[in-house]
Structure 1
Amino acid sequence: MKIGFIGSGAISEILSQKILESNTAKPQDIFIYDMSAERMEYMREKYSLSACVNTEELISKAEYVFMCVRSDNAIDMAKTLRPYSFEGKTIVSISSGIPMALYEKYVPGAAVARALPNPPSRIGHGVIAVAFNSKVNAAQKEDLMKVFGAMGTCLSLGEDKINAITSLTGPGPVYAFFQALVESSLLLGIDHKTSAKLAHGTVEGCLKVWEKNIDDISGLLAETSTPGGISVRQLYSLEQDSFKASVKGCYEEGFLRTKAYSDNISKMLEEMN
């Protein structure tokens, strides 16, 4: 498998690490191009990747061209692909909110995939949803699922779900919950180091229990809720403070932000027609 990264930032580095660790591709079969010669040199020296002099060279050598560019640069970068042939190749969009339609416009008939690894992907425990257009064949899908599978749990979904998954897999709200657990412990007189251990151990233990019956979170709540007991009072307090509504609201806000990127790109593409 020959893989190319246009843009060699954090996402490219995480992908490169996991691809190499999983032996999905050899270093000499991973190509990089970046406007920053310094960044390319760093990637070349650290991972023994093949640095390219321009996008043309990278596209000519790679079977899978990963567009690891900032969302606000995506249109300009997509335009640069127009002169090149992508027959037998797949373009992979790795930018928040950037729809496959952008690359389909500038490279008509191209096989295009879209994904966005979340931060825990760097340690192999990410959640990555991947969408494919109709031009991506079964072998190409298998290759890309293998690439992203090296980073954690990989799901194949329709593109209409990608913006939601981008929000739902963001770790920010989860980390905020962890912080709230620690602060609650501090409030009750436990020192910070012990508070962190208590919070981490509690979360880790609950996740292990959940893994054994992942489809029945309501059942787990019922098991721990003795009538008139501690958990019932805790859950009642959370509901009084609209806990569930707040959680749902924060993820909806993340979705709307990501969707706004996609809608803006789609609107621009319509205006160009």
Structure 2
Amino acid sequence: MSKVALRNKLGFIGGGRMAEALISGVLSAKLYQPDQIRVADPDAGRLDHVEARYGVQGGGTNHELASMSDVIVLAVKPQAMAEALSGIRDVLTKQLVLSVAAGVKISRIMETCGPNTRIIRAMPNMPAMVGEGITALAIGPKMEEDAIDCARQIFESVGRVVLINERLMDAVTGLSGSGPAYVFLMIEAMADGGVKMGLPRETASLLAAQTVLGAARMVLETGQHPAGLKDQVASPGGTTIAGLHRLEQGGLRAVVIDAIETATKRSQELGG
């Protein structure tokens, strides 16, 4: 299939960091040109920023943006979704709506905007800001393949994409949505360990971050199970197995599993 520019107008309701990441991504991937993108946001400072940096069009109401767009990205906080939907429901005809609002179900959007609304729910994560995100897509009913391809290409411009059943979206939130924060904490802890052992802070932070980046890339590119890669590093009687033993004693594996379960349950609570 050709690139998504065949859907020639892309509108963002909300101009925050995730919207900016997607704007940067689709422009870099040459899926859209700046004059094909419009952004609406009540924060004039954000609009000025994205207009100046990316050359896109800013301003106007949500209603005006929706009426002029072929693809609409709902990039608002969950608590702002009701207001955003009320401003566009009267002009939705055949537009493709992509929602990145955490916890807002497809059924809720369709209840407000009508049963024929063409909606795909997305859960990207923070590394999308550097083009290394992972986005889970839950597809609304009666969705055409070209619309799914359109959504996939937009989110692939900022990383990888997986398709899931919407009932698993809370688990995605607990794992990959919240996951970058878990990894940041691990990087910080690894760097602290290096500092404790005498390394300069800057060096320790670089060693920790690059180690995590490289290890993740090995999992993705080799296709090997993480346990197999771990065993390749852990020589008999060596330093690595001694360190792994201490991590297991401290319950790292169980704590990480518990954290994802807790975050998933919280996502369920917030989503009602």
1:270 is aligned to none
Cα 1:53–1:212 change in 2 (3 A) is closer
Mapped to 1, the partners of 2:100 and 2:175 lie a distance apart of 17
* Equivalence for 2:43: 36
Report the counterpart of residue 3 of structure 2 in structure 1: none
| 2:124 aligned counterpart, secondary structure | coil
Match of 2:198 in 1: 189
2:250 to 203, 220, 241: 241
Partner in structure 2 of residue 105 of structure 1: 111
> Residue by residue, what CA displacement relative to the aligned partner does 1:16-73 show, whole Å, maximum 9, x if unpaired?
1111111111111112222234433433333222235222221111111111111111
Deviations 1:214-253 (Å, cap 9, x if unpaired)? 3411212232333433322222211111110111111222
Q: In the alignment, which of 146, 151, 157 is matched to residue 158 of structure 2?
A: 151
* Aligned 8 A contact 1:127 1:154 in 2: yes
What are the superposed Cα offsets for residues 167-195 of structure 1, whole Å, 9 maximum, x if unpaired?
21231110111111111112222222332
3-state secondary structure, aligned to 1:83? helix
2:102 is aligned to: 96
1:212 Cα shift? 4.2
Determine the structure 2 residue equivalent to 1:46: 53
Q: Distance in 2 between matches of 1:9 and 1:200?
A: 26
Match of 1:60 among 63, 67, 72: 67
The more displaced of 144-153 and 250-259 is: 250-259
| Letter in structure 2 aligned against 1:206 | A
**Matching residue within 16, 19, 35 for 2:23:** 16
Equivalent position amino acid for 1:250 in 2:
A
Partner of 1:166: 173
| Secondary structure in structure 1 of the residue aligned to 2:15 | coil
- CA–CA distance in structure 1, aligned partners of residues 69 and 164 of structure 2: 25
Q: 1:255 aligns with which of 264, 267, 271?
A: 264
Q: Distance between the aligned counterparts of 2:62 and 2:210, measured in 1?
A: 47
Residues 194 and 49 (structure 1), Cα distance of their counterparts in 2 relative to 1, 3 Å cut = closer
Indicate conservation of the 8 Å contact 2:95/2:118, yes or no.
yes
Q: Which SS does the other structure have where 1:87 is aligned?
A: coil
Cα drift, residue 201 of structure 1? 4.0
Matched letter for residue 264 of structure 2: F
Partner of 1:271: none
Contact 1:19 1:25 in 2 (8 A): yes
CA distance in 2, matches of 1:115, 1:192: 37
1:46/1:234 CA distance change after superposition, 3 Å: closer
Alpha-carbon RMSD across the aligned residues, in angstroms, is 1.9
Question: Which amino acid is the alignment partner of residue 186 of structure 2?
Answer: F
Q: Which TM-score applies when normalising by structure 1?
A: 0.88
Task: Report the 3-state secondary structure (helix = DSSP H, G, I; strand = E; otherwise coil) of the residue aligned with 1:136.
Answer: coil
TM-score of the aligned structures, taking structure 2 as reference length: 0.88
- Which residue is 1:269 aligned to? none
Matched, 1:229 2:235: no
- Per the alignment, residue 115 of structure 1 pairs with 122
Unaligned runs of 5+ in 1: 264-273
Q: CA deviation at 1:113?
A: 0.7
Indicate conservation of the 8 Å contact 1:78/1:102, yes or no.
no
> Contact 2:13–2:41 (CA<8 Å) still a contact in 1?
yes
CA-CA distance at 1:135 after TM superposition = 2.9
SS in 1 for 2:88: coil
Quote the offset at 1:103 in angstroms.
0.9
Counterparts of 2:44 and 2:202, CA distance in 1: 43
